[in-house]
Chain A
């Protein structure tokens, strides 16, 4: 039930941010607000990428530099060269499996 209510809440806030400007906005958004929001994806993507790759899960989280982080670095290099997210995933997974098999 909690999951259903969470999905409902997600749907409502997402419709709100999509619909409010189209239904209500007449003038321009303040420049500072637009800039702040414009950086949110970079900040959130960084956080979401880094935590599973560089921090252990569990009760006492600590930094780790293992196969997941190596996979992330390989994926990052491929992403820089190709700009392709699928290629990034494939390269990162390949690096992870190579480390699993050969170490």
Chain B
């Protein structure tokens, strides 16, 4: 990759930032919902903001809030965060060939703000031959900005809202996961994993303490999927 001059680099940062803006509509409501759920789960406004600022991973933040609400053990929350975010290993790994010649601190900086959305925007640009670390940085910072602003909005809104459960707002959390899950179920192997996860999660929720049902289903059902792929070549 040819090093970019400073004006070119700024152009790429801006292009990456703007390329992600359509996704703000999808991200912003979830930042607000995350913050409102976090406050409802008993986190302070500062803790709610800190999780967005330093963890910055939507699905794992929702997961953690659900586990905080269920009074899960800290170790269970951290291990589940690791499991939910482990997919970032794949995203980062597939970006690494394009960023190999960048300085280590640039790669570390890009890594800390990598999300599904900014990865998708950035890798598409790399695949078309027009990508750069600067473009990826612009996409990352765009997502980071909207997530922090929407979390702050949710914190401010959440403090004046009455108990969300009184309005059935505790259902927003599981419904969000229904919405994230169901579009993934068009593939047969994902259906098998989901059915396995449902069985393990229900058994775990009924017979295990705390939130270990999430770990049981997360580790067990995905292993079923991987084993299935060993049996069936084209799945």
Contacts and interface: CB of A to CB of B under 8 A. Distances in A.
Q: Do A and B bind each other?
A: yes
Interface in B146-205: 168, 170-185, 189-190, 193-194, 196-198, 200-202, 204-205
A49 B177 contact: yes
B86 interface: yes
Interface residues of B, number: 93
Interface size, A (range): 35 or more
Contacts of B178: 49, 53, 72, 75-76, 79, 88, 92
Interface stretch (B4-12, B14-22, B120-128, B220-228): B220-228
B89 A49 contact: no
Interface string A29-53: 1001011111111111111111111
B179 A51 contact: no
Nearest to B70: A57
B95 interface: yes
B51 A40 contact: no
Interface of B: 26, 29-30, 33, 43-44, 47, 50-51, 54-57, 59-60, 62-64, 66, 68, 70, 74, 77-78, 80-93, 95-96, 99, 104, 107-108, 110-112, 114, 168, 170-185, 189-190, 193-194, 196-198, 200-202, 204-206, 213-214, 216-226, 229-230
